[in-house]
Amino acid sequence: MMPPHIKAIPAQTTSEKDILGPVVLTISDLESHPNSLTVTGYSLNPDMLSSDNITVVGSGESRLLFIETQDKAYGTVNIVMTVIDPQGLTQSAQFPLYINDRPDIEAPSMVTLTEDRPYTLNFFVLDAESAPCAITPVILSANNTLIDPEKIDFGCIDNEYTALILPQTNESGTCMLTLMVSDNITDAVAIITAIILPINDAPVIQVAQPTKTYTENAPPLRICADAELVDVDTLSF
């Protein structure tokens, strides 16, 4: 009697607290119908991944493998998949599963800025498998009229990041910011509500002819005869 056959399974990569799959498993048996074959999965490191989190579904010669990873458990674990025929004969295939540590962001959900004044946003990016400050953050703005992401400058010391944000000139209101980081395998996102408080801007006098010459015995000089008062706020007289 010949044992059943399971095709070799390539190495797989996923992230913590995620679901890998479907991974196609190909099985066969010269002496049994494919539907009579059973496929089971076993983790060689149950502390990192429980065998209960390995699921195989489907029928016939192609089965679908799903693996649900645990939170805060990352590294490489070897998985053994075994096909069993009705006579109890078996064959196994082992493959490594790399579980990536998903990056985390610790950032405030709301910040308050002041019109025309810079604001420093402080946040942390945590990733056990990346060197300090190795991850490059990105901020997207829901309203570039209020905050232009191209004008945001980042800094980092020991995974404590700063983002220097300068609101657009004379603009105030509420803007949603999306802070994103990636370790090239998985992403993390934080949504920040930025409230920009208005200030009372000083009015400006615009003079069409800034210089006038006044000589002795000349007619009286009219000051600012062609001047214009400009203010981004409401003027009162």
**CA distances for 79 relative to 46, 56, 95, angstroms:** 10, 13, 5
Q: Distance between CA 190 and CA 180 in Å, rounded? A: 7
Common-topology check for domains 5-100 and 104-197 = yes
For residue 39, which of 91, 117, 2 has the smallest C-alpha distance? 91
- Model confidence, pTM: 0.69
Specify the pLDDT at position 200: 79
Domain boundaries, the chain: 5-100, 104-197
Residue positions counted in the chain? 237
Residues of the chain with pLDDT under 70: 204-218, 220-237
Condensed to tens digits (0 to 9), the pLDDT of residues 189-222 reads 999 999 999 987 777 666 656 666 666 666 765 6
Specify the pLDDT at position 228: 55
Query: Would you give the distance in Å from CA 218 to the centre of its chain?
Result: 71
CATH entry 2.60.40.10 includes domain 104-197: yes
Q: Distance between CA 179 and CA 194 in Å, rounded? A: 12
Give me 9's structure tokens: 């399974």
Give Rg (Cα) of the chain.
33
Specify the pLDDT at position 205: 65
CATH entry 2.40.50.140 includes domain 5-100: no
Sequential DSSP letters for 211-229: -----TTPPPPPTTTTEEE
